[in-house]
A and B are shown apart, each in its own frame.
Chain A
Amino acid sequence: MSVRPKHRFWISLGHNKLALFGFSILFCLVLISLSAPFIARFNPGELHMLKTLQAPDADFLMGTDEFGRDIFSRVIYGTRTSLQTSLLVVLIAGGIGTFLGLCSGYFSGVTDFIIMRIMDGLMAFPALLLALSIMAAFGASQTNLILALAIIYIPSFTRLTRNTTLGIRELEFIEASKAAGAGSLRIMIDHVFPNCLSPLIINATVILGYTILSEAALSFLGFGSPSQISWGTILSDGRDYVFNAPWISIYPGLAISFFVLGTNLAGDGLRDILDPRMQ
């Protein structure tokens, strides 16, 4: 797969309208988060005490919350936190998970047994409950939220990498580099890892979306950091005002759905393009 010419990837992507749509959503969200100060009309923390719980109008495009804070600006700034959180989670979970999977698949035997039993243990719990328990153990903060989410998504990366590695390990070019005197770490990084990349990228894209969904659920339950503005915490703020100020809840949820739809479309598209078995 790594020898496939790069331009073919772009051509396939150009033909896949849904995937293109997904990537456009993600691209727009990145742009929004980078240019948040220019798009937002107010400081997201700015209080307008005379205009609390206002319905959306020309000034406050998405209305205001109980402190008169502009929901539009908060959703725009929330994009930053939410993107940051999901990227960090995927980087941490992906990094640790991939490394463990490489070791597990490459060394097999006892290493494999220990790593995979730990993964089984992690997967024996329903994911959100596991994250909740970890948050309960370490306390509510943005860092702990990221760590908790990273832990629950490690197993998916580990299993994926392990299974791919098991297949590659037996191939001749691995034997050839062993014969040439390459060390285990070198073989894993230089030869095995590049061949695991396609499924990993697909998985990472999809997990990016899952992370946002879990983050929103945890923040909604009150386990996010209240000082951080993320889509989940705005939703949580709106919880008590569903009846008289539904706009606080509607818009951040819409943002979450768009983001996750983007990652799902992109993930599906990447799977079609990168994984020839699915064609």
Chain B
Amino acid sequence: MVSLLSFFFIHMIPGDPSMALLGPNATPNEIGNLKLEMGLDKPLPLQYATWLGKMLTGDMGNSILSGRPIFKSIAQRLPHTMVLAFLSILFSISIAIPIGIIAAVKQNTIIDRVVMFLALVGVSVPSFWLGILGIILFAVTLQWIPAAGYVSVFENTLIGLKYMALPSISLGLVLAAVSTRMTRASMLETLRQDYIRTARAKGLGKWAAILKHGVKNALIPVITVIGVDFGWLLGGTVVIETVFGIPGMGRFMVYGIMNRDYPVIQGVILYMAIIYMLVNLIVDIMVIFLNPRIKT
């Protein structure tokens, strides 16, 4: 389904890659030959069948513009995007879960109100704008981090992390805002359950009851939401990668769209969709693990 959509969508792009490749001075004959070579003259369903067949064997074709195999380019770029996504999620849960729990336990106090308002502000701010503000503040004004350039974490872990900090924090903050709201709501629900009262009645301290019995149950919906938000995160990485010049999947896709490089766009979309589904599968498995009552 996803493969079909990504294939046909892309072929509706007006303009022809063979023209883009040969330039405006190409003769119709040259264009015809190139089309023949790339299989662009065949009917669309046939092109789709050939493409899907190759895709299943891991051959995603070559970029029309650079001629490089797409599989290779994606394999090169995917780790950057994954590191960014992973760090963002790590950052977001490490602040969202404790803060969400505290807000729930202190419901209707000033702490709760302030946290909830900040969380609402967080979901209202474009993540890439946060990134730009970060550059202005930390790179231009304070000069704590280098203003431009990019070093991969795979080349030099420490320096690489320094370059990754701002992008993953700006994505992570927005995610954190969503997850904090979710954690609080879910925690409030859990705190009203009978088993918390039982735990308290048998003499367990307030925080012991919350941490031992409350948190695990409250986290189930939070994990589900993080899975859903992963889709948002993948979209967010496209923009953040552009802001920070990270050579990941998102920039590859923007490059593909700008140059009408069909195979590149198809490859990236397919990969992103597969990753999205995989993440949601993992999330479903984690939820079953956390809550044995759920059986599929």
Once the chains bind, are A133 and B9 in contact (CB under 8 Å)?
yes
Encode contact with B along A233-257: 1 for CB under 8 Å, 0 otherwise: 0010011001100100110010011
Given contacts A124-B1, A127-B232, A139-B13, contact A253 B273 (CB under 8 A): no
Q: Kindly provide the distance from the CB of A262 to the nearest chain B CB, expressed in whole angstroms.
A: 8
Contact of B124 among A139, A220, A235, A260 (CB under 8 A): A260
Contacts of B232 in A (CB 8 A): 126-128
A182 within 8 A of B: no
In the bound complex, how far is the Cα of B136 from the Cα of A246, in angstroms?
7
In the bound complex, how far is the Cα of B9 from the Cα of A250, in angstroms?
35
Once the chains bind, are B120 and A265 in contact (CB under 8 Å)?
yes
Contacts of B243 in A (CB 8 A): 239
In the bound complex, how far is the Cα of B257 from the Cα of A128, in angstroms?
14
Once the chains bind, are B231 and A137 in contact (CB under 8 Å)?
no
Q: Kindly provide the distance from the CB of A120 to the nearest chain B CB, expressed in whole angstroms.
A: 8
Q: Kindly provide the distance from the CB of B107 to the nearest chain A CB, expressed in whole angstroms.
A: 14
* Prevailing SS type, chain B contact patch: helix
Once the chains bind, are B121 and A261 in contact (CB under 8 Å)?
yes
Encode contact with A along B1-37: 1 for CB under 8 Å, 0 otherwise: 1100110011111100000000000000000000000
In the bound complex, how far is the Cα of B242 from the Cα of A235, in angstroms?
13
Once the chains bind, are A261 and B129 in contact (CB under 8 Å)?
no
* Chain A, 258-277, CB within 8 A of any chain B CB: 258, 260-261, 263-265, 268
Encode contact with B along A214-229: 1 for CB under 8 Å, 0 otherwise: 0011001111000000
B219 within 8 A of A: no
Contacts of B13 in A (CB 8 A): 136-139
**B interface residues, how many (CB within 8 angstroms):** 47
Chain B residue nearest to A136 in the complex (CB): B257
Once the chains bind, are A243 and B272 in contact (CB under 8 Å)?
no
Once the chains bind, are B239 and A125 in contact (CB under 8 Å)?
no
Once the chains bind, are A264 and B123 in contact (CB under 8 Å)?
yes
Q: Kindly provide the distance from the CB of A117 to the nearest chain B CB, expressed in whole angstroms.
A: 8
A129 within 8 A of B: yes
Contacts of B269 in A (CB 8 A): 125, 129, 133
A213 within 8 A of B: yes
B135 within 8 A of A: yes
Once the chains bind, are B9 and A213 in contact (CB under 8 Å)?
no
Chain A residue nearest to B121 in the complex (CB): A261
In the bound complex, how far is the Cα of B230 from the Cα of A127, in angstroms?
11
In the bound complex, how far is the Cα of B120 from the Cα of A250, in angstroms?
20
In the bound complex, how far is the Cα of B255 from the Cα of A222, in angstroms?
11
B253 within 8 A of A: yes
Contacts of A243 in B (CB 8 A): 140, 147
B95 within 8 A of A: no
Contacts of A239 in B (CB 8 A): 243
Once the chains bind, are B128 and A132 in contact (CB under 8 Å)?
no
In the bound complex, how far is the Cα of B229 from the Cα of A127, in angstroms?
10
Encode contact with B along A57-97: 1 for CB under 8 Å, 0 otherwise: 00000000000000000000000000000000000000000
Once the chains bind, are A126 and B12 in contact (CB under 8 Å)?
no
Question: Could you name 9 residue pairs across A and B whose Cβ atoms are closer than 8 Å?
Answer: A126-B232, A129-B235, A136-B13, A138-B12, A242-B132, A246-B136, A253-B129, A257-B121, A257-B126
Nearest 6 CB-CB pairings of A with B: A128-B235, A126-B231, A253-B129, A260-B124, A261-B124, A137-B12
